[in-house]
Amino acid sequence: MPNSRITLRSYTPAEEVLARGESVRDRIPRTARDRAVRTEGRPSVLEYVEASNRGRLEHLIPMRIARMAASPFAFYRGAAGLMASDLAGSPDTGFLAQLCGDAHAANFGLYGTSRGEIVMDINDFDETAAGPWEWDLERLAASLVLAGRVGGANEDECRTAAADAARTYRRAIAALAERPFLKSWSALADESILDRVEADDLLDNFKKAAKKARKNDSEKVVKKWTHIDDHETGIESHHFVGDPPILTTVPQHVEDAAIDALERYGASLRESRQGLLARFAVADIAFRVVGTGSVGFHSYVALLHGNSGEFLVLQLKQATPSALAPVLGIGPADHEGQRIVQGARLVQTETDILLGWTTMKVPHPDGGSRELPFIVRQFRNLKGGIAPEELDPDDLDDYGRLAGALLARAHARSLDPRLISGYLGEDEDFEEAVAEFAVRYADRTEADHDELVAAVRAGKLPSEDPDR
């Protein structure tokens, strides 16, 4: 959000804020969410994929295509920009929130706080931007339908999950609108949220994911991905073991550039955390392929030595412009890494204490080098997740309610929840309209996926999966 002077000389009663939200219903009925999927002016799947491949490392593009071709849900995860173009011009209230930008069901995950608590929240902000809150909610709802279909849920179960996500979003926003500002701002989503959103069937899933997350740290990375060099000095030094194409060693000039970038990144941290970072020293750098939408962009892991056998693994991930920016009419950020970090800080109740940004010189395909923006974060920060496409169909609606509540809490940090609550009221037609659009958009995505697969089979797009 823009930095500006904050007015603290006047107070607006809650009733006035709620009424302002309610007044928008005449212009944008809550049932306006039920509409046809945009077809005019949208690029073909081939055009979209080819455009989104620009700037990626050529040798990794076939992997990206293969991952997107795996299922309609996988395609959806790699096509946030395509849905953004489809949402352009759709009805919205005009109330802007800091969007996740890619709020599909698999982008909600578990991670550890600075105190070691396991919480669940949105965990991907590559596409974050200020935009209509409705866009995040509709992306979540459609993703639940797609994940459910992949997992074997029937159409009623998929539709119910999408409707429940919207219903719980509405109810959570209403609850947040009534809470004291400080309490709603600092609410953490731990295990207790499952009871509050009537998602008790996910309790076992949450506990299993939390147990796994507690073991998912830098120590585990070191044991799995590194070996020890014992030099004549007797000092043990760990180095990454290559596992191409997912994990590969880098030449010395790339390692030097990454260390330079890490040293500059410290300036993006709070002063106390700069002192913490300064106690570590880099032992090794490697290239690490991650995700679906991020495949083909530069991504590195850095192994750092700490105190008496302590290890820290940081990720340096290339920051690219938000796919939503051109659709929203937003110009390039001064630094895309800073945009992502500031977006995460606006949305998450508690962010990684070592989340920051930097610039790094990377090799250019035509020779020489170029400077690119990056984010830096802990690579393993007690992270885990519940895969929505692997849930029992009966549990999909529970996951929808959980994700809907988390999204509401996220939006309420940048947009006064009283505005949205005033607009939504208690009308259940809203969630039914969201569900209808979600099903319709899932159908559109399945057709897009078929188009992608056909292009691969026709040799128009390269596809191979080196993971297998």
φ/ψ of 466, rounded to 5, equals: -65, -10
- Check if the beta carbon of residue 400 is closer than 8 Å to that of residue 104: no
> What pairs with residue 110 in β-bridges?
120, 384
Domain that holds residue 304: 218-378
pTM: 0.94
The pLDDT value recorded for residue 187 is 73
d(CA 320, CA 251): 24
Kind plus residue range of the DSSP H or E element containing 182: helix 181-185
The pLDDT value recorded for residue 106 is 96
Least confidently predicted of 61-65, 150-154, 234-238: 234-238
Q: Which residue has the tokens 């659709």?
A: 327
Q: Which two tokens stand for residue 298?
A: 């530069």
- Residue among 421, 408, 424 at smallest CA distance from 178: 421
Task: Please check whether residue 4 lies inside any domain of the structure.
Answer: no
φ/ψ of 89, rounded to 5, equals: 80, 0
Whether pLDDT at 212 is above 50: yes
Same domain for 207 and 234, yes or no, is: no
Task: Please check whether residue 5 lies inside any domain of the structure.
Answer: no
Task: Please check whether residue 3 lies inside any domain of the structure.
Answer: no
Task: Please check whether residue 7 lies inside any domain of the structure.
Answer: no
- Check if the beta carbon of residue 298 is closer than 8 Å to that of residue 372: yes
Q: What is the DSSP secondary-structure string of 92-134?
A: --S-EEEE-S---GGGEEEEE-TTS-EEEEE---TT-EEEEHH
Whether pLDDT at 193 is above 90: no
Q: Is the dihedral of CA 246, 247, 252, 255 positive or negative?
A: positive
Same domain for 400 and 314, yes or no, is: no
Same domain for 147 and 244, yes or no, is: no
In the 8-state DSSP scheme, what is residue 466? T
Same domain for 204 and 241, yes or no, is: no
Q: Is the dihedral of CA 251, 257, 258, 259 positive or negative?
A: positive
φ/ψ of 224, rounded to 5, equals: -90, -35
- Residue among 441, 435, 443 at smallest CA distance from 169: 435
The pLDDT value recorded for residue 201 is 81
Among 378, 409, 442, identify where a domain stops. Answer: 378
Among 378, 393, 418, identify where a domain stops. Answer: 378
Q: How far is CA 418 from CA 94, 190, 441, in A?
A: 14, 24, 29
- Residue among 370, 359, 351 at smallest CA distance from 333: 359
Task: Please check whether residue 6 lies inside any domain of the structure.
Answer: no
Whether pLDDT at 196 is above 80: no
Q: Which two tokens stand for residue 100?
A: 């996740």
Whether pLDDT at 232 is above 70: no
d(CA 239, CA 281): 13
Same domain for 137 and 242, yes or no, is: no
- Check if the beta carbon of residue 293 is closer than 8 Å to that of residue 273: no
Q: Tell me which amino acid residue 344 is.
A: A
Among 347, 362, 378, identify where a domain stops. Answer: 378
Mean per-residue pLDDT of the chain: 92
- Residue among 422, 393, 429 at smallest CA distance from 93: 422
Neighbours of 71 (CB within 10 A): 17
Task: Please check whether residue 395 lies inside any domain of the structure.
Answer: yes
Same domain for 417 and 366, yes or no, is: no
The pLDDT value recorded for residue 468 is 40
Pairing state between β 281-288 and 247-249: antiparallel
Same domain for 247 and 205, yes or no, is: no
Q: Give residues with Cβ within 8 angstroms of 428, minimum separation 6.
A: 167
Strand, helix or coil at 255?
helix
Task: Please check whether residue 208 lies inside any domain of the structure.
Answer: yes
Q: What number of residues does the chain have?
A: 468
Domain count, the chain: 2
- Residues 240-254, mean pLDDT to the nearest whole number: 94
d(CA 132, CA 24): 14
d(CA 457, CA 75): 16
The pLDDT value recorded for residue 16 is 97
- Residue among 342, 340, 320 at smallest CA distance from 413: 342
Q: What is the pLDDT of residues 307-319, one digit of tens each?
A: 988 999 999 999 9
Same domain for 181 and 289, yes or no, is: no
Task: Please check whether residue 72 lies inside any domain of the structure.
Answer: yes
Same domain for 173 and 230, yes or no, is: no
Q: Give residues with Cβ within 8 angstroms of 135, minimum separation 6.
A: 84, 87, 92, 99, 324
The pLDDT value recorded for residue 302 is 97
φ/ψ of 304, rounded to 5, equals: -120, 140
Q: How far is CA 225 from CA 65, 74, 190, 284, in A?
A: 26, 27, 30, 12
Q: How confident is the model at residue 248 (pLDDT cuts 50, 70, 90)?
A: very high
The pLDDT value recorded for residue 32 is 97
- Check if the beta carbon of residue 33 is closer than 8 Å to that of residue 134: yes
Same domain for 233 and 369, yes or no, is: yes
The pLDDT value recorded for residue 190 is 67
Q: Give residues with Cβ within 8 angstroms of 218, minimum separation 6.
A: 311, 312, 313, 378, 379, 380
Least confidently predicted of 108-112, 190-194, 340-344: 190-194
Same domain for 127 and 198, yes or no, is: yes
- Residues 378-391, mean pLDDT to the nearest whole number: 91
Same domain for 321 and 421, yes or no, is: no
Q: What is the pLDDT of residues 3-38, one digit of tens each?
A: 678 899 999 999 999 999 999 999 999 999 999 998
User: Is the backbone peptide bond immediately before 245 cis, with ω within 30 degrees of 0?
Assistant: yes
